[in-house]
Chain A
Amino acid sequence: MDLRLSPEDERFRDEVRAWLETRLGGDFRDLRGTGGPGHEHEVVEGRMAWERELGAAGWIGLGWPAPSGRGASLWRQVIFQEEYARARAPGRLGHIGEHLLGATLAALGTPEQKERFLPPIARGEELWCQGSSEPGAGSDLAGVTTRADLAGDAWAIRGQKIWTSHAHLADYCFVLARTDPAERRHAGLSYLLVPMRQPGVTVRPIRNLTGSAEFCEVFFDGARAARENVVGAPGEGWKVAMATLAFERGASTLGQQIGFASELDAIVAAARARDADRDPEVCRRIADAWIGLRVMRAFALRVLSHGAQGELPPAGLGAKLYWSTWHRRLGELAMDVLGPDAEILRAPPCALAPLQETFLFSRADTIYAGSSEIQRNIIATRALGLPR
């Protein structure tokens, strides 16, 4: 047992920290704390410029294997995430492109696909969205009915996606669609790379319960994707989609407790400022939240040190369920600490203070990327071997 980072990794941390401090002290000063869940509509132009800044410095695609990326270890990816959150750097518009599609392509794409799609992601120029869920296929993703049919050199896509985060900003979408109507369920699906800015694509933002609109309905009506832009073999899209999901739940979330820690700091400050901590019950709940952060940190270190080869160990299956449940409880605690002020908005109709945001947005954490119920199903069957 040795829980120290190597001196090289510590130096890497210093390098990341110094870079962020300089850049966020200069032209990008006003971007600190912007964006992120519930704030995706904020300063989009400025945050796009920030993405390009990150890209130019080589911070995007850290974890992708060379030559597409820098092949950084899981530790360094987490260190970067931690420092990023600590610096309150802006919410990443490029998250889906880098950590979901980019990671998937780097692992499973053809050389041509990598060459075409990874560099613009790494430069912070092209944004992506994820077209998996449909009105009739959420948890049961194998039920997608969007069709893609080969017509000459291109796939023609027809169908509807929903809850597509960033679809209104994205240049591309990775779409899970049925390409073989003779097959059922997990067979006959393909994973297509589809340009968003073309005829035949209609995007309609959906307002979520926080009042902002970050996810959308996407209608495909004969939209095109080049024949070669299928990841994996046609008909083998399920495997690719599962790989993406593993990236979505994996290392890219393991550094996020730093962001959570600053939310907890705000709760501690609020409790002190309003004497809410005279109530021992409130103190104990805050203590519990703090303990939960320690748990997440230790859990992440343990899972990562076992998963340094890329495959996360069975214990890792519990990570998403744990952090999402913790975060939801944190939001509830925040409201109780604020007392009657919890109710008062910054401005009508829905300008939320940060802790109100935490409270409301954390309700989504237990739904996306596999709901808590689905996580429990996965643990039961895969980690515990229980019968279906």
Chain B
Amino acid sequence: MRFAFTDEQEEIRRQVRRAIADGGGVTAARRAMEDGAGIDRALWRRLGTELGLAGLAIPDVHGGAGLGWIEIVAVIEALGADLACVPFLSSACLATAAILEAGTPEQHAALLPAMARGASTATLAWLEASGDPSPDAIEATAHADPDGGFVLRGTKRFVLDGHSADLLLVAVRAEGGAVALHAVPAATPGVRRARLPTMDGTRAQAEIILEDVRVPASSRLGGGGWHPIARAIAKARVALAAEQVGGAQACLDFSVAYAKVRQQFGRPIGSFQAIQHTLADMFVQVETARSIAYHAAWEAEHAPDIEVTSAATAAYCADAFLACAADAIQVHGGIGFTWEHDAQLYFKRARAGRTLLGSTTAHRDTVARSLGLGLARAHTDGTR
């Protein structure tokens, strides 16, 4: 039994932290947010290509590092601490998992090497206007084309890094009503995309309109079906949760530091019990969230089914991060309410995370269903 990272994993983390700090830390994230790019390309070159984060979970036969979700979690916690504006969650976690879960060996070989090199990024286009994370809400379609390929139609929304990804993995409703996933280069004729203005400027989302997009038969990943997509999303939720742990820890750290130096009534505010207790509660949230996130990382590698684990972890860590970010503002007083202070960036990142890969409410419903509770069981409507 060992509930800790290995020395090698800690070393990757150290390198990631150093690279982010060299790149300007949170200031760089703010720059990426304010210049409208929504992605820090210089940092991604350093992290994704040079340090190999782009292919962290890609098997080595396809040019990746051949590591897994424990390393993903170790690394993304560091990214979250400084709000790094890079497509790690969207491409190296979500899309990579989707291709690995859904694709055939030939498709892995065709798609993954460019991603592993950092030459191409991908994302999963799954949600639509309703925002409903369930497969039932997918209305975009794929119709068989007489020439052997497919024609895709529909509108995807809330697509993570969808404005900058080179490859879109589009979930559609296929023949017979089943769900299928298509790998579509963003440059394909008929694909129109627009970045959505988001409250959390450090993480971009896009709307993607598919107007009679013709794709070859080989663009359909594997045999179709929702299950592999669900599994990829579940794994990405674990990654997001760990990113939130990093963010929550950062909120605690800069709040504690401030409480030690800010003086009022002739003493540091950190000597006031009300402030101490707020910070102590943040500490408990951070440490408990970290524990469940690390545990989930291990399960993502070893458990046959992580749907409930990932829902539980996602709900807990999202709540913990938002509570910590909100308290960070409070502990800072007026300065915490300014545009200039970083607290707002964490607060908005935390808010966004609560609905990013399914809402915390939906996650709780998943857990409740697994306990045999709820709507699925209560089928009568009261009329007799």
Closest to A278 in B: B378
- Give the chain B neighbours of A299 by CB distance below 8 A: 287-288, 291-292
CB distance B284 to A318 under 8 Å?
yes
Some 27 contacts from A to B, beta carbons below 8 A apart, are A1-B6, A2-B298, A3-B3, A3-B298, A272-B377, A277-B374, A277-B377, A278-B374, A280-B374, A283-B373, A284-B364, A287-B371, A288-B315, A294-B292, A295-B288, A295-B291, A301-B291, A302-B294, A302-B295, A318-B284, A318-B288, A322-B288, A373-B277, A376-B280, A386-B271, A387-B260, A387-B267
* A380/B277 in contact, CB under 8 A: yes
Question: With A284-B364, A305-B3 known to touch, is A3 a contact of B295 (CB < 8 Å)?
Answer: yes
**In the complex, how many angstroms separate the beta carbon of A370 from the nearest chain B beta carbon?**
13
Which residues of B are in contact with A by a Cβ distance under 8 Å?
1-6, 70, 256, 259-260, 267-268, 270-271, 273, 275-277, 279-281, 283-284, 287-292, 294-295, 297-298, 302, 309, 312-313, 315-316, 361, 364-368, 371-375, 377-378
Q: B277 near A376 (CB under 8 angstroms)?
A: yes
Known: A268-B371, A280-B365, A376-B277. A291 touches B270 (CB 8 A): no
A257-277 interface bits toward B, Cβ cutoff 8 Å, 1 = contact, 0 = none: 000000000001001100101
Task: Choose among B4, B277, B312, B374 the residue that contacts A291 (Cβ–Cβ < 8 A).
Answer: B312
Q: Is A383 among interface residues, defined by CB-CB distance under 8 A?
A: yes
Given contacts A272-B372, A299-B287, whether A305 and B4 have CB atoms under 8 Å apart is: yes
Complexed CA–CA distance, A388 and B272 (Å): 8
Q: How far is the CA of A277 from the CA of B377 in the complex (A)?
A: 9
Q: In the complex, what distance in Å separates the CA atom of A19 from the CA atom of B364?
A: 38
Interface size on A, residues (CB 8 A): 50
Cβ-closest chain A residue relative to B267: A387
Contact partners of B371 in chain A: CB under 8 A = 268, 286-287, 290
- Distance, CA A152 to CA B338, complexed state (A): 71
| Contact for A380 among B3, B5, B276, B297, CB less than 8 A | B276
A295 lies within 8 A of B361 (CB): no
Main DSSP-derived SS at the B contact region: helix
Further pairs besides A75-B1, A277-B373, A379-B284: 5, Cβ < 8 Å: A283-B368, A283-B375, A301-B3, A380-B279, A386-B260
Nearest neighbor of B287 in chain A, beta-carbon distance:
A315
**Closest chain A residue to B271 by CB distance?**
A387
CB-based contact A318/B287 at 8 Å: yes
Asked if A321 lies at the interface with its beta carbon under 8 angstroms from chain B, I say yes
The docked-state distance in angstroms from the alpha carbon of A287 to that of B270 is 35
Contact B364 A298 (CB under 8 A): no
Write the nearest CB–CB distance from B250 to chain A, whole angstroms.
Answer: 14
CA distance A277 to B4 in the complex (A): 38
